[in-house]
Structure 1
């Protein structure tokens, strides 16, 4: 029954379509034969075309519904399978058709913020964790540097260099520039406990300018801060006067230095070795000290201070001060005059000392200048105060006038013997 109904309905629709098309053809022929149509004829033809179109769409829709109903009910045997026309395919276009196709750009909607700041949703800034790590690293580095500086200050405070500076400025006369240079070297060396070489300083100057007095003050100060056993005052003419005993003295000195540096390493302190009258040291003693300073590279030997006191090169110091005093300005400070003295005399003294022994190539040279008459009067005042005499200025001038001086040069009057005779003259009072 279904097949018969479908065939009959299909035949009916085809007949209706043919009738409609025939009627339309006849009207077209009539219109060709007839003259130009009027407005009423045009409107009636349009209405007829619209009715035909509506009827055609209704028939087409009914036919699609019938075909869908038949497809849902299932395919019967003997009914040919219906194939849809291939109006749309996924085949690629032939190479001849090169029509460019523009891609449609997706329009982005703009982000609109409200006008009022209260309800405005501003974009949030992302915070990186790396900033926190960087800040923490900076804090750690700052604490490490601050701790290192504090440790350096603690190490310097152990040796009380401020007290030493006050003592040297009060007790040493006429050598303020040399005192400042020596204190600067000691401060730089004692600011840390780890060194790559020992501090070796050689003090040179004429007789009576305060070399031995400077050594005694340094020895007394270091005994008070590091202990009696870590300070050695070695007087060559007293400890080893005979040249025949030089080999034995050298061996004993090397043993004593080794014991002292080992003890200082255990106590984490820096020992002091003072060698007075170094111009009388024998070759064996110089060899032993050179071996200790240069070849002993262990940590305990590197943390040590060696101070040599001698009058080697005193002739050059005297000549330089007498010949150049006229060109020296009277307004120049003591440190300025001493810096000029060091700058001009260091190459001359080093050339002389290197010819004597290789040990002097490892030292820092510190020359001491001649004393003026005013400095000698200060020596008399200090000695008389120590001995309990009344410091009469007239008596001090009389005693200072009894000492021999070089001819006045450039407004300076230098003493030939310095403060060497001060103690003897005060004892005669």
Structure 2
């Protein structure tokens, strides 16, 4: 066997070993800095370039997550409650947060997504769900203190269920030997969307530009709306009463121009060159309110992926 052939075989063997190592390395995710590392620059860039029409939410999320992740010893877990109509970007933002903390993003074994209608469907089983939820969170935080828990469809959550996790969100050093202070909890809800939309509409009627809307214009009315709404999942909850929700993050209703931006980005994600004429035609055919002025989209960006296929 020539020296050249021997070297080729050795090289092939090393490449195979490297491939095997990479496979097992990436398969066996660990709770350490190699797998969990906050990328503030990445989150800031993603919120600026990929999230449309949500200047308030983008600012609040960036500051909240940055402050929490930079703290060596947070006093409590980070609790964010994201509110707004369907298609305004709540799920997308929770995804961006995960992608800029965990190497594997939403597929990380340390990111846990609960959907009310899928995981907690039966009102008669609320007591059982409470026990299971407590055990699931405790078990996973024991494995990795820097775990993330996302609760989608909070407006469909049975009253009282989310209150069961209150001890984990409070200012405790530890509970039965487990500290929850480094964990992140994110609630996603359509509840409060109408009060947010009303503020946006009032600004528009008064001739005030959208960027002039700030968190202070929305947060108090939003928290009260959610607290007093029986269908919010947070109705009369001690999480609000005891100020355990760090930020109520409002997502404004999207305007026509934001829908167009979503459409152009969706075309790129489909591997197509962005076509303004196609996207504008699609955007014009969607529903807007007020009915005559057609200022705000009632569907946001959620239907765009399927709608575009019809127009392309």
Q: How far does residue 380 in structure 1 lie from its aligned partner after superposition?
A: 0.8
The 5 Å alignment of 1:110-189 reads 158-189=37-68
- CA distance, structure 2, for counterparts of residue 384 and residue 171 of structure 1: 13
d(CA) in 1 for partners of 2:205, 2:49: 28
Aligned counterpart for 1:406 among listed residues 277, 289, 307:
289
CA distance in 1, matches of 2:172, 2:75: 11
Compute the displacement of 1:275 (Å).
Answer: 0.9
TM-score by length of 2: 0.76
Judging changes above 3 Å, is the alpha-carbon distance between structure 1 residues 338 and 261 closer, same or farther for their aligned structure 2 residues? farther
* 1:424 partnered with 2:303: no
Mapped contact 1:408–1:414 kept (Cα < 8 A): no
Match of 2:248 in 1: 365
Q: Which residue among 67, 70, 73 is the counterpart of 1:194? A: 73
Cα separation, 1, equivalents of 2:164 and 2:180: 13
TM-score by length of 1: 0.57
CA distance in 1 between counterparts of 2:104 and 2:66 reads 15
The equivalent residue for 1:351 is 224
1:28-67 matches, within 5 Å, as none
Structure 1, residues 237-262: CA drift from partner, whole Å, max 9, x if none?
11122222222222121111112222
Name the CA shift for 1:329/1:315 in 2 (closer, same or farther; >3 Å): closer
Question: Match for 2:203 among 309, 324, 333?
Answer: 324
Residues 412 and 193 of structure 1: CA distance in aligned 2, closer, same or farther (over 3 Å): farther
The alpha-carbon deviation at position 372 of structure 1 amounts to 1.0
Q: Which residue of 2 aligns with 1:113?
A: none
- Seen in structure 2, the aligned counterparts of structure 1 residues 426 and 323 have a Cα distance that, compared at 3 Å, is same
In structure 2, the partner of 1:259 is 139
Question: How many correspondences in the alignment?
Answer: 264
Aligned to 2:279: 396
Separation of aligned partners in 2, 1:397 and 1:196: 48
Q: CA deviation at 1:279?
A: 1.1
Contact conserved, 2:39 with 2:101, CA < 8 A, in 1? no
Q: What does residue 286 of structure 1 align with?
A: 162
Q: Distance in 1 between matches of 2:227 and 2:277?
A: 47
Call closer, same or farther: CA 1:317–1:230 in 2, change over 3 Å: same
Q: 1:353–1:360: 8 Å Cα contact kept in structure 2?
A: no
**Contact 1:249–1:285 (Cα < 8 Å) also in 2:** yes
Q: What is the CA-CA distance between 1:277 and the residue it aligns to?
A: 0.9
Distance 1:233 1:253, change over 3 A: same
- Provide the secondary structure at the position in 2 that maps to 1:283: coil
> Which one has more relative contact order, counting CA pairs under 8 Å at least 6 apart?
2
Give the alignment of 1:211-360 within 5 angstroms: 211-224=90-103, 228-265=108-145, 270-294=146-170, 296-298=172-174, 300-330=179-209, 334=211, 337-339=212-214, 342-355=215-228, 356=235, 357-360=237-240
The 2-side partners of 1:172 and 1:251 are apart by 36
